[in-house]
Amino acid sequence: MRALQWIGPEKVQINDIPVPDIGPTDLLVKVGAAGVCHSDLTLVNFPIQLREEPLTLGHEIAGTVEAIGSDVNGREIGERGVVYLFWTCGVCRECVSGNENVCLAAGRVAMPPCPGLTMDGGMSEYVRIPASAFVPIGDLDFLQAAPVADAALTAYHAINGAREALRPGGTAVAIGIGGLGHVGVQILNAISGVRVIAVDQAQEKLDLAADCGAALGILSGPDAAKEILDLTDGRGADAVFDFAGVDATARLACETVAPNGAYRMVGLGGGAPEITAGPAGGPGWPWGATVRKSLGGTRSDLHACVALAQAGKLHMEVERFDLADGPEALRRLDAGHIRGRAVLVP
């Protein structure tokens, strides 16, 4: 089969490799579509050689069941689904509590095994997965379904974890209207009664946010914080979701979250928020506000995202690429030239 593989720092290529064998508790999935994420870029651009053998990329996977392991029950050949991206132990106290994204087996790093990042993923014609990672999608289109597995999952988990701040009539800010942010705007509209303010450095991204239901759009820059405060009577937003995570967006979040508000760090841009234990006031960290660094989501979150998509409440803005054009999709994403989510089709 063909697979898009990382072979070293800033090196990816299409290779012909064997179709993977499966074990008794596995499924072989014929890939229908695979999303392209900034996490893929983080791996591709990593400056050192992490392993000797090539790694097949891709953790946003949708497809059909091609083969079923001998110990697997409840699955059928031809069944359509998406793949839950964390392949966890399933038995520790975090997993059985429904917090699979911070499985104890992953230690303090709390980054459980993930296809395309730590083991072969789904930017290929077939992928081996644990049967427990398969989530049915019915007749949901693969191009729409693949980004649900991470772009929607990650946005939903961050938003769901801040529900106490998302009261009807309040205000939420979504910073960075890319693959995650444009979905986050839709999720905020679907599960809460807040007004959504979108922030991005490009007007075309704000136009996308408006299409997704954002009430207002603000271009990022030196006046963005003042504009948000003016729109919230000087108090700030009840919740700020930073889907970029760079220094400038982290600073903006700290300057605009309201007292008792929620700041959720979602993007992995390495930004350092300026949070101190000093008295609150001015642009400083407000009393009662919470901050959480949010990773992926749980299986329950993924089921909720699939249900929202099936109900027509989520629409992924996608750019379709053939699998062979995967390197070009990564280059365009790296340059910021993708509207919504790039999706590869074998």
Domain match, 179 and 282 both: yes
Tokens of residue 287, six digits? 């009393």
Domain match, 96 and 67 both: yes
Domain match, 314 and 252 both: no
Q: What is the CATH number of the domain that holds 84?
A: 3.90.180.10
Whether the Cβ atoms of residue 189 and residue 312 lie closer than 8 Å to each other: no
Domain match, 9 and 148 both: yes
Domain match, 207 and 247 both: yes
Answer with the one of 293, 313, 330 that is the final residue of a domain.
Answer: 293
Give the strand pairing for 26-36 and 60-68: antiparallel
Q: Is 257 exposed, middle or buried (0-12, 13-18, 19+ CB in 10 A)?
A: buried
Q: Looking at residue 298, what is its pLDDT?
A: 97
| Residue 152 scores a pLDDT above 80 | yes
Domain match, 50 and 83 both: yes
Counting the structural domains of the chain, the total is 2
Distance (Å, whole) CA 78 – CA 64: 5
Place of tokens 């596995």: 26
Place of tokens 């995202």: 305
Domain match, 120 and 136 both: yes
Which pLDDT band holds residue 245 (cuts at 50, 70, 90)? very high
Whether the Cβ atoms of residue 69 and residue 27 lie closer than 8 Å to each other: yes
Q: Looking at residue 217, what is its pLDDT?
A: 98
| Residue 282 scores a pLDDT above 80 | no
Domain match, 70 and 141 both: yes
What is the arithmetic mean of pLDDT over 197-204? 97
Q: Looking at residue 128, what is its pLDDT?
A: 98
Identify the CA nearest to 194 among candidates 215, 208, 220.
Answer: 215
Domain match, 332 and 257 both: no
| Residue 221 scores a pLDDT above 90 | yes
Structural domain of 324:
2-153+296-345
Q: If you write DSSP's letter for every residue of 191-219 in order, what string do you get?
A: H---EEEEEES-HHHHHHHHHTT-SEEEE
Q: Looking at residue 274, what is its pLDDT?
A: 86
Domain match, 43 and 81 both: yes
What is the arithmetic mean of pLDDT over 299-321? 97
Domain match, 339 and 251 both: no
| Residue 52 scores a pLDDT above 90 | no
Contacts 24+ apart (CB under 8 A), 333-338: 333/36, 333/38, 333/40, 333/41, 334/41, 334/45, 336/202, 338/36, 338/178, 338/179
Q: Looking at residue 153, what is its pLDDT?
A: 98
Domain match, 288 and 303 both: no
SS3 272: coil
Q: Looking at residue 281, what is its pLDDT?
A: 74
Q: Looking at residue 268, what is its pLDDT?
A: 87
